[in-house]
């Protein structure tokens, strides 16, 4: 396995996904993705904007996540992207030629979302590679 993409959002599920991804040697690269969603009311107009506080929080989250991966024998790359988290994770997997996406599960409402969160569901449906959903 050459490249693993893991999506994080600060939740306990995403921390478990990060730990699982980091333990899956012998990958050569671990790409950690944190998405800063667009501000709900600011998506109308010429260019959507993000909340600066949310952006700062995601930057800190990425720093922490890179630190949590510890001294492994792989390259770690952190990607902070703006927009929908599920789309960002899928795009990162496509751009990096990932072999695997690791993502945490979230309980939401609805039939399929009751089993797997809406972000995880979208990633599973649109991923260009295998997906591991961590409980």
* Domains of the chain: total: 1
Does this model's pTM top 0.85? no
The verdict on residue 49 lying in a domain is yes
At residue 98 the predicted structure's pLDDT band, cuts being 50, 70 and 90, is: very high
**Residue 18 tokens, joined:** 């990060």
Is residue 78 one of the residues assigned to a domain?
yes
CATH number of the domain encompassing residue 49: 3.40.50.620
Nearest-angstrom CA–CA distance, 69 and 101: 16
- Asked whether residue 37 carries a pLDDT value surpassing 80, the answer given is no
Q: Which of 41-45, 53-57, 78-82 has the lowest mean pLDDT?
A: 41-45
pLDDT in tens, 64-95: 888 877 666 678 888 888 788 899 999 999 99
Residue 57 in this model has a pLDDT that exceeds 50: yes
Residue 68 lies in a domain: yes
Between 134 and 109, whose confidence is greater?
134
In a domain, 16, yes or no: no
User: For residue 47, what are its two tokens?
Assistant: 């260019």
Q: Look at residue 11 and tell me if it is in a domain.
A: no
**Is residue 54 assigned to a domain?**
yes
pLDDT tens per residue, range 3-16: 999 999 888 888 89
- Domain enclosing residue 34, as ranges: 29-130
The answer as to whether 10 is a domain residue is no
Confidence of residue 44 (pLDDT cuts 50, 70, 90): low
Report yes or no on 22 lying in a domain: no
Q: Closest Cα to residue 131, out of 105, 103, 112?
A: 103
């Amino acid at each position: 396995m050459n490249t693993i993409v893991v999506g994080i959002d600060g939740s306990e599920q995403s921390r478990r996904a990060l730990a699982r991804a980091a333990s899956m040697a012998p990958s050569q690269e671990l790409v950690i993705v944190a998405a800063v969603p667009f501000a709900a009311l600011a998506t109308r107009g010429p260019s959507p904007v993000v909340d600066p506080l949310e952006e700062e929080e995601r930057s800190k989250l990425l720093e922490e996540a890179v630190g949590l991966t510890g001294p492994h024998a792989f390259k770690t790359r952190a990607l902070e992207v703006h927009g929908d988290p599920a789309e960002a994770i899928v795009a990162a997997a496509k751009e990096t030629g990932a072999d695997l996406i690791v993502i945490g599960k979230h309980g939401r409402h609805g039939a399929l979302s009751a089993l797997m969160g809406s972000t995880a569901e979208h990633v599973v449906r649109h991923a260009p590679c295998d997906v591991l959903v961590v409980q």
